Structure 1
Amino acid sequence: MQEGQADPGLYDFSPYRDRPPFSWPDGKKVAVWVSPNLEYYEIDPPANPHRKSWAKPHPDVVGYAHRDHANRVGHWRMADVMSKHGFPGSVSLSVALCQHHPEVVADANERGWEFFSHGIYNTRYSYGMDEAQERAIIEDSIRTVREATGQTIRGWLAPALTHTPRTLDLIAQYGLDYTCDLYHDDQPQRVNTASGDLISMPYSLEVNDHYGFFIYNMSPREYARTLIRQYERLAAEPSGTVMCIPLHSYLIGQPHRIGAFEEVLRHIAADGRAWITRSGDIADAWRAVHTGEPAA
């Protein structure tokens, strides 16, 4: 029989049922973090030979303007609802937003939200990049976010979820300590890198609003019910789990969707089993249990 492709060795295999149980701070059952994608899309980006930036020929006025609703309107509506119910954001940031719309970044920072990098633009992909180009993006991300917010980024979500074989090794080398690019588990897990100390932070495609509305064609109420089912199952399991709610405010911040989403936040906040927190805090708490390192 012909052998299949070798395991890439990104992480070790760890069966869920064999792991020792643990709890989050104060005995909470599930760590819930909300990840608003604060993004910037170019109307006519440079062409990448491996993937088109827009479905239509450039410039895609419709695609650009639809997504621009996020920074003009959707962010403020989404952020106010999150703040009302005590949910901080952990921002997947297109760092060019710091120059294009600094008001949005400043608002998130004032709310106490955490920032991690989602690349420079969400219309520029990692496919085909050489090492020098990829290092430049990481260095730009660290520098730009620090100058705009005073924060030093700890996490990474590749631009438009595009990677090279060296991405995880490079971000670990630069001192980042979690990646959101692996969707393989409902708990943080250690990532195998050449240097550094990188863990995977459970993100989600399944309950990402982009997938909910664009891929699965859910109504706002169906999407809200899906989030509640996700939460209830994770909160009922015996060991500490993580629920991420990835959002794009040009989607969830639409007037006809925001009400159903607010019901989800109200449900989770009132339940009592959730540790409502930020991604970096989850990384610290997991390390404190699994490595004995004190939480930051």
Structure 2
Amino acid sequence: MKSDPDLYAFSPYRDRPRITWPGGKQVAVWVAPNLEYYEIDPPAHPRRKAWTKPHPDVVGYSHRDHSNRVSHWRMADVMTRHGFPGSVSLSVALCQHHPAVVADGVARGWEYFSHGIYNTRYAYDMSEAQERAIIEDSIRTVRDATDQKIRGWLAPALTHTENTLNLIAEYGLDYTCDLYHDDQPTRIATKSGDLISMPYSLEVNDHYGFFVYNMSPRDYADTLVRQFRRLADEGGTVMCIPLHAYLIGQPHRIGPFAEALHEIAADGRAWATTAGEIADAWRAQQ
């Protein structure tokens, strides 16, 4: 077995050419709301259970459905108020299940990329044909719902095959959020296309913050501000804030989150932007 997948070249952080962002900003900040759909009784996968409880899991499903009924609107309003557009990691089935949520993002000028069809369908063991069908479905469904061509990919439930990166590059997508190895964009080695890794974060992902690290809402907000300040001090960096509305949009969490966005915006060093704009600005300097 190879010890290195050879997806990207090694480049020591301190030896790199300086990246400059528009307006002389120090750090490109993009917010990635995960607009997702979880099936209450998904098909069983031999490698991974969709729910910890036997299906149908009414509790798990309804907890997450809070995103689409209530907490999306709280989260989105806070983002808009403080000048942060969304780059949406979309379960594309949401376009059929809850089109009003997708339309709200479109009205706010948000960018959409694919997070698979459902977040309860996993890529493990998929054939190339099956994966192609999902990519084609994603391109078609998002185009029909938003009039956008998806540019990026975050694998459903962070599940992949050895073909994933090559396939999304072949279909003309230009960034992946599935690698967590850097605080700057990185060119990815694929058989065709021009794919880059867009910095995405597990460390300041609200799912990890609340479910893994057991942070309080105040702790999580403080973590966002400290992450931003360090990256701004270093300069030429990217900060991603991955969100799930059913977590960050709860009444007891939304206040500290709003305060964190206010503080980041007021600092003056943040370029509040989208993943696609970061990709374009980075490519223009290479």
Indicate the TM-score class for this superposition, using the shorter chain for normalisation: over 0.9
CA contact (8 A) 1:88 1:111 kept: yes
RMSD of Structure 2 on Structure 1 (CA): 0.7
Deviation sequence 1:235-273 (CA, Å, 0-9, x none): 000x41000000000000000000000001100111110
Give me the whole-angstrom Cα distance separating, in 1, the residues matched to 2:202 and 2:47: 22
Q: What is the TM-score normalised by the length of structure 2?
A: 0.99
Give me the whole-angstrom Cα distance separating, in 1, the residues matched to 2:129 and 2:44: 19
Give me the whole-angstrom Cα distance separating, in 1, the residues matched to 2:14 and 2:77: 39
Q: 3-state DSSP class of the match of 2:284?
A: helix
Give runs of ≥4 in structure 1 deviating > 6 Å. none
> Partner of 1:269 in structure 2?
265
CA contact (8 A) 2:19 2:237 kept: no
Matched ranges for 1:1-296 at <5 A? 5-237=2-234, 239-290=235-286
Give me the whole-angstrom Cα distance separating, in 2, the residues matched to 1:195 and 1:179: 14
- TM-superposed deviation, 1:128: 1.0
CA contact (8 A) 1:209 1:251 kept: yes
Q: 3-state DSSP class of the match of 2:246?
A: helix
Q: 5+ unaligned residues in a row in structure 2: which ranges?
A: none
- TM-superposed deviation, 1:20: 1.1
Q: 5+ unaligned residues in a row in structure 1: which ranges?
A: 291-296
- TM-superposed deviation, 1:110: 0.5
CA contact (8 A) 2:30 2:241 kept: yes
Deviation sequence 1:49-98 (CA, Å, 0-9, x none): 11111111111110000000000001001001111111100000000000
CA contact (8 A) 1:40 1:121 kept: yes
- TM-superposed deviation, 1:26: 1.2
Give me the whole-angstrom Cα distance separating, in 1, the residues matched to 2:216 and 2:176: 30
Count of residues in Structure 1 that have an aligned counterpart in Structure 2: 286
Q: 3-state DSSP class of the match of 1:181?
A: coil
Percent identity between the two aligned chains: 79
Deviation sequence 1:120-167 (CA, Å, 0-9, x none): 000000001001000000000000000000000000000000000000
Q: What is the TM-score normalised by the length of structure 1?
A: 0.96
Give me the whole-angstrom Cα distance separating, in 1, the residues matched to 2:279 and 2:108: 20
- TM-superposed deviation, 1:22: 2.1
Deviation sequence 1:196-219 (CA, Å, 0-9, x none): 000000000000000000000000
Give me the whole-angstrom Cα distance separating, in 2, the residues matched to 1:195 and 1:27: 33
Q: 3-state DSSP class of the match of 1:243?
A: strand
Give me the whole-angstrom Cα distance separating, in 1, the residues matched to 2:79 and 2:31: 9
CA contact (8 A) 2:90 2:113 kept: yes
- TM-superposed deviation, 1:6: 2.7
